[in-house]
């Protein structure tokens, strides 16, 4: 029996070391993924280029609708961010119409008062006279590139066609950001799962050695304690490993 206990404990330790190695490898993979701030820089740069290219555009920003609601992911000024936040709070405005309808929205101040009276009245001090919001073709995500002009009738139909290249560039950046975010989340989940498995295997080996149990019965002991104390199995395992590491007595009947 002592040899079997030693073998089981050794196997658990080897598995834990392997899991740690994989977790370290996942950390290095995370470092290879493009940092999120690089995508932010790209989107902000695109907005600035739009303002530089289109004479009628005084400000530009990008709206994305997430599970928690619409957000401005890039803006050329704090004033623009405040204008779009006003739209989100009131539930109306050119950016929201573009993402909801999937169609280009172009309006002057008079049309704004007709279509979005609450927003137009509240945004009057900003001095915006013209709006142009173009939806971005991003799968499974609603987004729009928004231009704001301080002159009346600052945008024309030709501006909509000229914006197509910028729209595609913004869409590509948003798709990349989504893929990177999903990849990072997946790797983080895998890393947590591996570390949880490693500590559970260590705790199982400790229980096997202390109680002279086989692997399945030792695991059942941990599960029973987890249910009795209403805490996650990983937490129970961490406590057992910590108790042994500190050379203290493992309580609660283990």
Q: Does domain 186-252 have CATH number 3.40.50.150?
A: no
Residue with tokens 């009628």: 56
Same fold, 2-180 and 186-252: no
Q: What are the φ and ψ backbone dihedral angles of 54, each rounded to 5 degrees?
A: -100, 110
pLDDT of 193-217, one tens digit each? 666 777 777 788 888 888 888 888 8
Ranges of the chain whose pLDDT falls below 70: 1-39, 139-140, 169-170, 173-195, 246-254
Give the C-alpha distances (Å, rounded to integers) separating 130 from 57, 106, 107, 109, 160: 9, 8, 6, 6, 13
Burial profile 218-241: b = 16 or more Cβ within 10 angstroms, e = fewer: bbebbeebbeeeeeebbebbbbbb
* Local structure of residue 124 (DSSP, 8 states): G
31 token code pair = 């470092």
Whats the size of the chain, residue-wise?
A: 254
Domain spans in the chain, listed from the N-terminal domain onward:
2-180, 186-252
Of 108, 68, 109, nearest in space to 88 by CA: 68
Using CA atoms, how far apart are residues 147 and 89, in angstroms rounded to an integer?
A: 19
Using CA atoms, how far apart are residues 110 and 129, in angstroms rounded to an integer?
A: 8
On the 0-12 / 13-18 / 19+ scale of CB atoms within 10 A, 158 is: exposed
Contacts (Cβ under 8 Å, ≥6 apart) of 46: 62, 74, 166, 169, 170, 173
Sign of CA dihedral 116, 117, 122, 123: positive
Class of domain 2-180: alpha beta
Q: Which residues pair with 131 in a beta bridge?
A: 107, 148
- Give the model's pLDDT for residue 147: 95
SS3 234: helix
């Amino acid at each position: 029996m002592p040899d079997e206990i030693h073998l089981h404990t050794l196997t658990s330790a080897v598995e834990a070391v392997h899991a740690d190695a994989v977790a370290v490898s996942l950390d290095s993979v995370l470092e290879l993924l493009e940092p999120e701030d690089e995508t932010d820089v790209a989107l902000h740069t695109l907005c600035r280029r739009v303002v530089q290219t289109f004479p009628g555009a005084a400000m530009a920003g990008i709206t994305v609708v997430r599970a928690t609601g619409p957000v401005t992911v890039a803006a050329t000024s704090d004033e623009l961010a405040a204008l779009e936040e006003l739209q989100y709070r009131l539930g109306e405005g050119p950016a929201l119409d573009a993402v909801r309808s999937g169609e280009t929205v172009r309006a002057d101040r008079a049309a704004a008062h007709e279509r979005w009276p609450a927003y137009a009245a509240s945004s009057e001090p900003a001095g915006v006279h013209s709006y142009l919001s173009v939806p971005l073709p991003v799968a499974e995500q609603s987004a729009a590139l928004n231009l704001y002009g301080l002159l009346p009738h600052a945008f024309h139909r030709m501006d909509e066609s000229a914006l197509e290249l910028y729209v595609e560039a913004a869409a590509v950046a948003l798709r990349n950001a989504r893929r990177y975010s999903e990849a990072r989340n997946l790797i983080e989940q895998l890393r947590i799962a591996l570390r949880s498995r490693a500590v559970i295997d260590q705790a199982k080996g400790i229980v096997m050695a202390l109680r002279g149990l086989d692997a399945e019965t030792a695991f059942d002991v941990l599960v029973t304690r987890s249910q009795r104390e209403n805490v996650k199995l990983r937490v129970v395992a961490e406590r057992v490993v910590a108790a042994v590491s500190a050379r203290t007595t493992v309580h609660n009947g283990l």
